[in-house]
Structure formats: C-alpha cells, structure tokens
C-alpha cells in the first residue's frame, strides 16, 4: 500500500541477464535491482531517502527479461524534483520523465533498460497484483540454424529433438499441481502452482521455442520443466513420465535443469485496474498463510 505523501510508479524493464547475478541485491555482486536502485539513488537521493524497487518476479542469475514489471514509491518532494527537471517544451508526465532520466543515468551501452514508466493505478503492486508470468525458452537443436547473434539467449543442443513428443509431455503437466519434482526446495515454501500454458513450436530458423505461463513459479521451475521435455525429446524419458513425476514427493533427478541463458521473462499479467487492490490483498493473505506455516500459500521466487 502506498504511504501518504508518496506516489507509486510502475516501470517496464528489460535486461540481458548474461552478466547479472540475478535480480535481487547481493553483497559484492552485480544484480539488476542493484543497478537500478543505484540509478534511482543517483537521480533522487538529494531529495530524500529513495525506496527500493519491488518486482513482479525475481529472476535467477543469467535469466533475461523483455517484460519485467516493478514499482517504486516516490515522495512528493521527489516527484516535484522530476517535474522541475522537465525538458523544455516536453509534455511528458512524471512517469515518462522518471523512465527517461533513469535511461540517461544507465547510459547508452547498458544491459538493463527502463522501457517505460507511468503513475500506477490505485491498488497496484507489481508483485502481489500479478495474475501470471510468461516465460520463453529457446533451444537450437540439430535441426535448427545456429545464429551466433542469438547465442546469449539460446541454448545450443547437439542432437535433434522430437518436438511432437515434447509438446505431448508439456500438455501432460498443465493445471493446478504440486510441482515439488520441478522446484529447488525452500523451507516453508509451497510448490503448488497452476501451470496455465506450456507448449513447444519451431520458429522460422527451426529453433525450438517453449512458451510457459503460470500464476507464479518456484525457484528453477521453468528450466526444470523444459529439461524434462528435452529428456523426452531425446528419447531418454517416455512422454508420460514428466506428468507422472508430479505425484512424487520431492525433487526429481531423471532430467537436467537447463542453463539460464535460454530463458526470458516475456510478460506479467495483471487484472483490470478496478481489481488490482483486491488481487494484491488476496495474494498477501496467501503469503501470510505461508509465514504462519499453513499450506497453499504463494512463494514469490520466479525462475
């Protein structure tokens, strides 16, 4: 909830995760949030303490994003400072000004970009208001063209994979399930998720592309799901096995968790503006249940 005397801004963010140690700040390591928080401080610290960004989903080291969403709360004094910095004859609002000023601080050769900014709708919370997250994983197998310009966001796989079998395996995992077999375990964190979409296709260069969407993802879940499908595509697992593993109590070891480089966060979905606050309260209640040890709460750690 936004504090009195402050305004919440919604930011759309993209980054090449190759040289980041993930989203979340870590002492002595370069992270996406660390870079952006530093830029915010450079821009606004003369006008009071600067809040940290709150993100829709914390991506792991090496994972990319084109549609990450975050929010930040600025004091009235900081918003006024942005307004005073308005470029002559510019009609930009404070959200666009914030994105533009951050872009200038990050520089022309940056690997993280603030694509747009706007004043957030009432009740918006980048993390708790989200309905779903959508990821893409790219694999150039033996049947695909290998483009060196795409090497940082595409896994090169030496053998040709059976994409029809991989698609069938993916469909067998859809729905509300316990994905403990596909998640790195975390104390007191539920592994129950709703996998809303999981499909495979080939693009114009023959590159295998997985589209994966869920209400939320636990740690390493997307890369584990994709790894299980690759094992099917290689013929090492039968088509039905990835779905059968959902009945197991712990993490499976019948497949490899694939490297982060092939994974990109594409989009975060939110309800209509009138439903943002209710969605955030619903998610916070589930989180409180987790903190109290009750089942069914939602962890906030994305792949």
User: Among all residues, which ones are annotated catalytic?
Assistant: 60
Is the distance from CB of 165 to CB of 233 less than 8 angstroms? Answer: yes
**Which residues, 6+ apart, have CB-to-CB distance to 73 below 8 Å?**
2, 3, 6, 7, 8, 9, 51
* R_g of the chain computed on alpha carbons: 20
Q: Which two tokens stand for residue 58?
A: 């914390």
């Amino acid at each position: 909830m936004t504090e009195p005397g402050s305004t919440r801004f919604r930011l759309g963010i993209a980054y090449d995760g190759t040289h980041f140690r993930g989203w979340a700040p870590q002492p002595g390591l370069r992270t996406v949030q660390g870079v952006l928080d530093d830029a915010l401080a450079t821009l606004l610290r003369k006008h009071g303490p600067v809040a940290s960004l709150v993100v829709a989903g914390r991506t792991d080291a090496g994972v990319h994003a084109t549609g990450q969403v975050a929010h930040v709360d600025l004091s009235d004094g900081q918003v006024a400072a942005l307004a005073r910095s308005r470029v002559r004859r510019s009609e930009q609002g404070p959200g666009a000004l914030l994105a533009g000023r951050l872009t200038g601080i990050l520089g022309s050769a940056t690997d993280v970009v603030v694509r747009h900014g706007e004043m957030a709708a009432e009740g918006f919370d980048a993390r708790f208001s989200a309905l779903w997250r959508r990821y893409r994983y790219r694999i150039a197998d033996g049947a695909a063209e290998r483009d060196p310009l795409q090497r940082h966001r595409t896994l090169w796989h030496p053998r040709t994979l059976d994409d029809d079998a991989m698609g069938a395996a993916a469909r067998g995992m859809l729905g509300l399930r316990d994905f403990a077999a596909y998640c790195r375990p975390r104390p007191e964190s539920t592994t129950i998720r709703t996998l809303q979409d999981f499909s495979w296709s080939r693009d114009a260069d023959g590159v295998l592309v997985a589209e994966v969407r869920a209400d939320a993802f636990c740690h390493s879940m997307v890369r584990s799901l994709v790894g299980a499908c690759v094992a099917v595509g290689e013929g090492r697992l039968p088509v039905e096995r990835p779905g059968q593993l959902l009945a197991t109590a712990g993490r499976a070891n019948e497949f490899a968790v694939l490297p982060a480089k092939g994974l990109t966060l594409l989009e975060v979905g939110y309800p209509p503006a009138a439903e943002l606050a209710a969605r955030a309260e619903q998610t916070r209640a589930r989180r409180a249940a987790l903190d109290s040890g009750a089942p069914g709460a939602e962890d906030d750690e994305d792949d």
